[in-house]
Structure 1
Amino acid sequence: MRALLAMVASAALAACATTGESLATDTGMDAIADDYVLLQLTIGEKESGYIDAYYGPDVVRNRAVSDAAGQSLPQLSARALALRDRAAGLLRTSGGERSLEQRRARFLVAQLTAAITRLQMLQGAKLSFQDEAQGLFGVRPETPALSSFDPVIAEVDRLVPGSGPLWQRVDAFKKQFDIPADRLKPVMDAAIAECRSRTLARIAMPAGERFELALVTDKPWSGYNYYQGDYHSKIEVNTDLPVRLDRAIDLGCHEGYPGHHVYNVLLERDLVKGRGWREYAVYPLYSPQSLIAEGSANYGIDLAFPGDDAVAFNTRVLAPLAGLPTADVARFVALNQMTEKLTSARYTVASRLLAGDITEAEAADLLQKYQLESPERAAQSIRFIKTYRSYIINYGLGQDMVRAHVEAAGANQEAKWRRMEQILSEPTLPEDLLAH
């Protein structure tokens, strides 16, 4: 794994006051979990999109609505600080260092650290890109000099020779793999079905797990999984820009199997229902949980389609189904794999844009040069960056960390899948991925 980060331990801070009435009657871990869920839902009433998923009791959601109406952001910050202090106290008395109870307590402390950071941001705190990522997601990313990516750009230039700007050549080559709009639904259905088949051959899923697929527009992202609870997801694919052939497998794995859908299903089955850990019924987007979710979803693509499997499936099934040529599929996939080496250049561009060091126009130019994006796709990237800010690190850095942890199990595919399942079904934090 590239040396891209320094892990930051989540330490408890003493709280000067407490606000809000506890839902629970005892002072143990379950009481903290109940208060945690209420707090997160209350913050979610203050910021649209803060809660990615919730499938707990409606009475708690209703209580959050009333709490939010009567409490200010500073009061919520005080609640979060006090709750983190309580969780940290149990962290010192909750069993062995690697016990599930200890990991449960560590998870709550880390998630509350993120909530405190997000509340500071909502109150106007200006954090650097790296400090924001550290506070929200528990990692400190590097922002490499853009010139360090010039050798990769030179490699791509050799793969896609010709005249004109490199991004134009790359975009022109890739356009031949744009899936026609009237073929997108059957292609996505076929891709998701294959992702599901490969995953279920390795990971047992509960009976009745299911998803719905919807094609949508006017979104800052390319795909999204809205987990509904009861082992049910709604997967949306954005069609503002043409969806390219490689994205069918990518989205099928990332949003579905073994990605977000499987992650949420296993957490619900094993932790929420299996252990009664209700804190996992709420998923705040701006938290270390997102690095695990996005990193495992991205690595899951390679795990489900190792080696040349993606080339073979695209050539044999998806390209014909889409009515696309098959002669250059291998070259197309190879190009996409090469441009993945440019992923962390996006962090540098984002950090400079969010700090106000460059304009949106300058950021678009840099994304065209160092992400090889068309003006339209660069504009969509900027919209995502402005919306989700340092969240972008979870895809590349998270993938690197999950890959390193899983592949430390060795070359055996069964062993890799077992490690992946552990990540998805246990109280996993970014720092746990460093323990190989």
Structure 2
Amino acid sequence: MSVTERFVRLCGEVGNLTKELTGVSVVDAYFGPAHLSPLRQPTNRSGLDLHAELMAVSDAANEELTDTPLRAAYVSSEARSLAGVCEWIDGGTMPYQKVAETLFSLKVHPYPDSLVERLRATVAEALSAPDDEALYDAVRIFQDEGLIEGAELEEWIGGTLEQRSTEVGRLFDERVFSKMGVRVTDNGVLYETVRGKPWSGYNYYQGNFKSVNQFNIDRRFNRDSIMGIVYHEYEHHVS
């Protein structure tokens, strides 16, 4: 079995583990050969076992994929990230710095509190009394022009947005999926409005290539900002 096949199989196994322990799989959706699907992978391996094999795959990727250095770097780093997930979810304690470095390959640079407070004060001053009133007015006009909120926003999401989502899905199929050389199932998005959420929009993958996109109508949008969120959540669905 190639190192990339081992990696895909392990992704499915880690997804099965996180689903068992948390109710949520790290694998949102799977497109690929049936025999590599998460549904065909074991569900009884421990995080410790998966961690060891993922680290081995990470090393093997750098050794075996020398002709494709970007692919090697991707598989190696993703395998190490998933190994970190297994270590964390298996009950181990992990400080924030290690979480950032292991899961996201980010180096955490400590800054003194005095610097943080000084920068906060600088930002607060800049926001409270903008010197460039023309810029301030331009931002305010952008926010207020085409304002859509409340009942109007709810009606727009249930009407116009449903029509646009069909168009976006068609364009994505023509311009992205067609380049993959295979037919990819997309069973669409159901749009809902909610209140009392801490976010503007959220994508909930439902399985079987379907998603629910929810939009918080407590928030104020204009015609530009709402479309940015619509496209962002649709990207979560198709990816």
Is the structural similarity TM-score above 0.5? yes
* CA offsets 1:96-118 (integer angstroms, 9 cap, x no match): 2xx3xx43443332223222323
* CA offsets 1:160-209 (integer angstroms, 9 cap, x no match): xxxxxxxxxx9xx99xx6711x2223334646839x76x949x8144874
Map of 2:50 onto structure 1? 79
2:22 maps to 1:47: yes
CA displacement at 1:36 relative to structure 2: 3.1
CA–CA distance in structure 2, aligned partners of residues 50 and 30 of structure 1: 19
Map of 1:61 onto structure 2? 39
Out of 204, 217, 223, the position equivalent to 2:175 is: 204
In structure 1, stretches of 5+ residues that fail to align are 1-25, 160-169, 265-436
Map of 2:95 onto structure 1? 127
CA contact 1:94–1:105 (8 Å) conserved in 2: yes
CA contact 1:29–1:87 (8 Å) conserved in 2: no
CA contact 1:36–1:83 (8 Å) conserved in 2: no
Map of 2:136 onto structure 1? none
Question: TM-score, structure 2 length as denominator?
Answer: 0.65
Map of 2:155 onto structure 1? 186
Aligned residue type for 1:125:
T
Out of 119, 124, 135, the position equivalent to 1:148 is: 119
Q: Assess, with a 3 A threshold, how the Cα gap between structure 1 residues 138 and 44 changes in structure 2: closer, same or farther.
A: farther
CA contact 1:191–1:248 (8 Å) conserved in 2: no
Map of 2:73 onto structure 1? 106
CA displacement at 1:79 relative to structure 2: 2.1
CA displacement at 1:235 relative to structure 2: 1.5
CA–CA distance in structure 1, aligned partners of residues 110 and 198 of structure 2: 23
2:236 maps to 1:260: yes
Percent identity, please. 16
Local SS of the residue matching 2:64: coil
Map of 1:166 onto structure 2? none
Aligned residue type for 1:42:
L
Task: Quote the RMSD (CA, aligned, Å).
Answer: 3.9
Map of 1:29 onto structure 2? 4
CA displacement at 1:138 relative to structure 2: 1.9
Aligned residue type for 1:78:
D
Map of 1:237 onto structure 2? 215
CA–CA distance in structure 2, aligned partners of residues 146 and 222 of structure 1: 29
CA contact 1:84–1:108 (8 Å) conserved in 2: no
* CA offsets 1:224-252 (integer angstroms, 9 cap, x no match): 2234577644322245xx12114523321
Aligned residue type for 1:48:
G
CA–CA distance in structure 1, aligned partners of residues 204 and 120 of structure 2: 35
Q: Assess, with a 3 A threshold, how the Cα gap between structure 1 residues 116 and 219 changes in structure 2: closer, same or farther.
A: farther
Local SS of the residue matching 2:219: coil
CA contact 1:43–1:76 (8 Å) conserved in 2: no
CA–CA distance in structure 2, aligned partners of residues 138 and 213 of structure 1: 35
Question: TM-score, structure 1 length as denominator?
Answer: 0.39
CA–CA distance in structure 2, aligned partners of residues 157 and 191 of structure 1: 36
Q: Assess, with a 3 A threshold, how the Cα gap between structure 1 residues 152 and 178 changes in structure 2: closer, same or farther.
A: farther
CA–CA distance in structure 2, aligned partners of residues 60 and 121 of structure 1: 21
Local SS of the residue matching 2:192: strand
* CA offsets 1:322-365 (integer angstroms, 9 cap, x no match): xxxxxxxxxxxxxxxxxxxxxxxxxxxxxxxxxxxxxxxxxxxx
CA–CA distance in structure 1, aligned partners of residues 25 and 176 of structure 2: 28
CA–CA distance in structure 2, aligned partners of residues 120 and 38 of structure 1: 14
Equivalent pairs, count? 205
